[in-house]
A and B are shown apart, each in its own frame.
Chain A
Amino acid sequence: MRIRPVGSIVAGIAVVALSFGTARPALAQNSTARGPYKVPRTPDGLPDLQGIWQVRDTSAAYDIEDHAGALGIPPGRSIITNPADGRIPYKTGALAKREENFKNREMADPLNKCYMPGVPRITLMDYPFQIFETPKYTLITYEYIHIYRTIFTNGTQHLEGLDWWNGDSRGHWDGDTLVVDVADFNDQTWFDASGDYHSDKLHVVERYTRTGPNTLQYEATIEDPETFTQPWTISINLYRHTEPNFRILEYECQAYADEAAKSGGQ
């Protein structure tokens, strides 16, 4: 279990030094000997990102920064590509709440109450999701507690005054990349299971780029002037399920929790 040095500049520098240069490079497999990967098109002529996708590096869902393994926690490298030290650029004083969250994570992690994970955490979780495209909407349906996100690609703007777990997603195509601007968040979700958090000023810009027949690069730039000193970016690879009978099923957290409570009470 990683313990983050709190308030110790010296220790902080040491950690920065240790992790310097280890930030995960963005997926760079979008070219082959035969030239760059040509993203196929849907029948509507859109870059085709459709399919069932899932992370392979499941450690980021536990902690998006560099961390060692612990009981039930797979070790992993930071998925933060900016800043280069791979650390979340918390403002002075903001780390204390993260430490508090970490300490109380069993009760405090919204996922342990079956709440919606928010963005980008939902992408990092070890459950598949499916992308569908139509000219006006890109729809992402997640196996985890049947969440779906309707990404408007019809030129509409964010609504105002919302306060949503998964935010309000408006997208556009930047070449072959789907760019999704997500705003209108509440302050209730975390980035991972280690207590990394944000305020309701969170603003996320996601970029979905297909880099091969079975790979997608997912990048998210995270802005929250109340919590961070600067915007920061994560990048992780998604892999397409090619098993012919693979399906999005159901993971019904609340129903299972109720079941467990019932059988525990008998």
Chain B
Amino acid sequence: MASNAAALTGKDIGMSSHLLNRILATAGIVALLSLVAVPCGAQAAAGAQAPAPPAPQSGAPGGLGAGPGGPARPPAGGGGGGIFGAPRHVPGGPVQHLADGHPDMQGFWNAANNGGAVFEVQNHPTPRQGVPPGKGAVVDPADGFIPYQPWAAAKAKDTFENHLADEPELHCYESGVPKQMYVQFGFQIFQPANYFVITWEFMHAVRIVPTDGRPHLPANIKLFEGDPVGHWEGDTLVVDTTNLNDRTWYDTVGDFHSDAEHVVERFTPVDSTTIKYEATVEDPKTLTKPFKIAMDFYKTNDPKYEQMEFGCIEGNQDVQHYTKDKGGAAEVKVK
């Protein structure tokens, strides 16, 4: 894998390429790429049989184009996927059911590359500062844009332009909901009795969804991943998540919510390798009305695929690599 990430640091900017500087300035993406680099490299090299360093760092091998699904990645049925291109999808047979009667969604999954939602969840038809254009994943409202209140739209814009160093994952925080569902490297679903548990390689995040009808936590307990409570409607798992804090974003470019966020997700398997996913997001403090995102999850078809350990704070150098104009520490030399 060609290593660009090492060069993609504020300290090393000596190139006159205006475009590159623009990309570098979008530090969230740089951080994202550098976080991508190591584990996906390990996976891509030899399935799950490759060594992985204790903690991914900025400056590790990898870089633009080397992400999962990117051109440097050999076509394998492993994990990854979802950032630069859709993961491989092998159409499946009929949905299987477990002894408890619920559909069997266990296994490794990846969000399809729904318009680059992990970069920017809403419609972004024109490229800006290193964000590739895409449709995002917002299906309601029909224009694909987040229905922000004016102050919130202004704040998101200001964050993108001036404060990308606040990007939560850069600081090794869990991704929140719904973003957690479309982060890179995918996730594993477990269905022990009365639970639906999801684990992610990225940031070793976990969501424990009880399906036993318990009530939500008291409102004063705020969590990065919130309090998910599930129930089944036929083959669809419906997950109601409250108790979310205001420290996560919907994507990497500053789209945000308050601690009044409430998300209702629907996981519907349509065949043995495809889950239709929908999430309706409510937040009366930042939105004029709820919005809905939709995407597919594809099942990983490599029987040897396993999740690797993902260290973040154990080796994190992203904050140092953020440029000063984005709230970081690194100098920018613009020629």
Contact = CB atoms under 8 A, between A and B. Distances in A.
Given A43-B99, A146-B204, A165 B195 contact: no
Contacts of B197: 132, 139, 141
Interface residues of A, number: 40
A164 B217 contact: no
A113 B313 contact: yes
Given A141-B197, A146-B206, A148-B206, A162 B51 contact: yes
Contact of A159 (B205, B306, B313): B306
Contacts of A164: 52, 54, 309
Q: Interface residue tally of chain B, by bracket?
A: 35 or more
A248 B225 CA distance: 12
Nearest to A257: B313
A248 B208 contact: yes
A11 interface: no
A137 B273 CA distance: 20
A47 B69 CA distance: 41
Interface in A144-171: 146-148, 150, 152, 156, 159-166
A187 to B, nearest CB: 10
Interface string B152-183: 00000000000000000001111000000000
Contact of B171 (A139, A165, A166, A255): A255
Interface of B is mostly: loop
Given A50-B192, A186-B54, A249-B221, A255 B173 contact: yes
Contacts of A254: 171-173, 313
Contacts, number: 100
B208 A116 contact: no
A148 B191 contact: no
A141 B224 CA distance: 16
Contact of B311 (A161, A165, A250): A165
B183 to A, nearest CB: 14
A115 B52 contact: no
A114 interface: yes
B106 interface: yes
A40 to B, nearest CB: 12
B309 A162 contact: yes
Given A146-B206, A164-B54, A186-B54, A43 B193 contact: yes
Given A134-B190, A139-B199, A141-B208, A188 B309 contact: no
B50 interface: yes
A133 interface: yes
B53 interface: yes
A150 B173 contact: no
B206 A141 contact: yes
B233 interface: no
Contact of B307 (A114, A150, A250): A150
A130 interface: yes
Given A139-B197, A150-B199, A163 B52 contact: yes
A174 interface: no
Contacts of A56: none
A250 B190 contact: no
26 contacts: A42-B193, A113-B313, A115-B313, A132-B195, A134-B190, A134-B191, A139-B190, A139-B197, A139-B199, A141-B199, A146-B174, A146-B203, A148-B199, A150-B306, A156-B306, A162-B51, A162-B308, A163-B53, A164-B309, A165-B311, A249-B223, A252-B173, A252-B174, A254-B171, A255-B171, A255-B224
Interface of B: 48-55, 99-100, 106, 171-174, 188, 190-193, 195, 197, 199, 203-206, 208, 214, 217, 221, 223-225, 227, 247, 306-309, 311, 313-314
